[in-house]
Structure 1
Amino acid sequence: MEEGVKSVERAFQILERVSLAKNGIGVTELANELNMYKSTIHRVLSTLANLGYIEQDPETERYKLGYKLLEMSSRLLSNLDIRREAMPYLQELVDLTNEVVHLVVLNKGEVVYIEKVEGSETIRMHSRVGNRAPVHCTGVGKAILAYLPEQQVREIIRQYGLQPHTPHTLTSIEDLLHDLQKVRQRGYALDLEENELGITCVAAPIFDHTGAVVAAISVSAPTIRMQRERLETLAQQVRNISDKISARLGYRSE
Structure 2
Amino acid sequence: MNDDLSTLSETTPAKDRKFVEALSRGLDVLRAFSQGTVVMGNQDIARITGLPKPTVSRMTYTLTKLGYLSYSPQLEKYQLDSGVLALGYAYVSNLRVRQLAKPYMDEFARSTNTSVGLTCRDRLSMIYVENCRPAETTSLRMDVGVRLPLGTTAAGRAYLAAMKEEERSHVIAALAARSPDTWPETAARLEKAFEDYARHGFCLSLGDWDRNVNAAGVPLHLQDGTLMALTCGAPSYLVSEEKVQNQLAHQLAMLARDIERLGV
Which whole-Å CA distance do the structure 1 matches of 2:192 and 2:257 have between them? 24
1:99-248 aligned within 5 A: 99-119=114-134, 120-123=136-139, 127-161=142-176, 163=179, 171-173=185-187, 175-209=189-223, 212=225, 214-231=227-244, 232-248=246-262
Among candidates 78, 84, 100, match of residue 99 of structure 2: 84
Distance, in Å, in 2 between the alignment partners of 1:150 and 1:227 is 32
Aligned to 1:34: none
**% same residue:** 23
Supply the distance in 2 between the matched residues of 1:123 and 1:163 (Cα, whole angstroms): 30
Counterpart of 1:67? Answer: none
- State how far apart, in whole Å, the 1-side matches of 2:148 and 2:236 are: 20
Please state how far the C-alpha of 1:237 moved relative to its aligned partner: 1.6
Q: Give the whole-Å Cα distance in 2 for the aligned partners of 1:170 and 1:88.
A: 40
Return the letter of the residue paired with 2:216: V
Letter in structure 1 aligned against 2:251: Q
Contact kept? 2:129, 2:144, Cα under 8 Å: yes
Give the superposition deviation at 1:241: 0.9
**Cα pair 2:220 2:228 within 8 Å, conserved:** yes
**SS of 2:230 mapped into structure 1:** strand
Q: Please say if residues 147 and 184 of structure 1, whose CA atoms lie closer than 8 Å, have aligned partners that are also in contact.
A: no
Q: 1:98 to 1:128 in 2, by over 3 A?
A: same
1:68-102 residue CA offsets vs partner (Å, 9 max, x unmatched): xxxxxxxxxxx971211211111111121121111
8 A contact 2:119–2:126 mirrored in 1: yes
Distance 1:248-1:227 versus aligned 2 partners, 3 A rule: same
| RMSD of aligned Cα (Å) | 2.6
Cα separation, 1, equivalents of 2:228 and 2:100: 12
2:258 match: secondary structure:
helix
Unaligned runs of 5+ in 2: 1-93
- Could you say if the C-alpha distance between residues 174 and 234 of structure 1 is closer, same or farther in structure 2, counting changes exceeding 3 Å? closer
Letter in 2 for 1:112: I
Q: Give the 3-state SS of the residue equivalent to 2:158 in structure 1.
A: helix
TM-score normalised by the chain length of structure 1: 0.58
SS across alignment from 2:193: helix
Residue-by-residue CA offset, 1:193-222 (whole Å, 9 max, x unaligned): 111111010111111226x46211111111
